[in-house]
Amino acid sequence: MIISARNQITGKIESVKEGAVNAIVTLKTDGGAAITSTISMSAVKDLGLAPGKEATAVIKATEVMIGIGDMKLSARNQIAGKIESIKEGVVNASVTLKTDDGNTITSTISMAAVKDLGLAPGVKAKAVIKATSVMMAV
């Protein structure tokens, strides 16, 4: 299957914490970072997710925020790296972050945010993604 989501990061399931309706699934990327996803228990069972299983975290670029500096947030996924490139549009920009573990994450954010944060290639930043915005694929 080919999908439009820009961010498809592979790894192995590290843990599955089951609840009555949802589970918190942690994927350890091939580079060693952890990505947390909150998905339904039926999805966990349908996908056969269990520790050690290979999977892919799928995240739309519009669901990725970019932050700089120290941030205390409820978002579980805060992945550090450096801005690799910025493709500017009139209203929005496509920002690519090269993560410290070697992956790339693309974010679609406003041009105002790019300017306000002083984003440019080489700037240290973090991709911030709520666990509920991370899908899992096998």
Instruction: Convert the pLDDT of each residue in 81-109 to its tens digit.
Output: 999 999 999 999 999 999 999 999 999 99
> 133 Cβ partners below 8 Å, 6+ apart?
59, 60, 63
List, in order of start, the domains of the chain with CATH numbers.
Answer: 7-59+132-137 (2.40.50.100), 61-129 (2.40.50.100)
| Residue 109: burial class (beta carbons within 10 Å; 0-12, 13-18, 19+) | buried
Phi then psi for residue 76, to 5 deg, are -70, -30
The pTM (predicted TM-score) of the whole model is 0.94
Q: Tens of pLDDT along 27-72?
A: 999 899 999 999 999 999 999 999 999 999 999 999 999 999 999 9
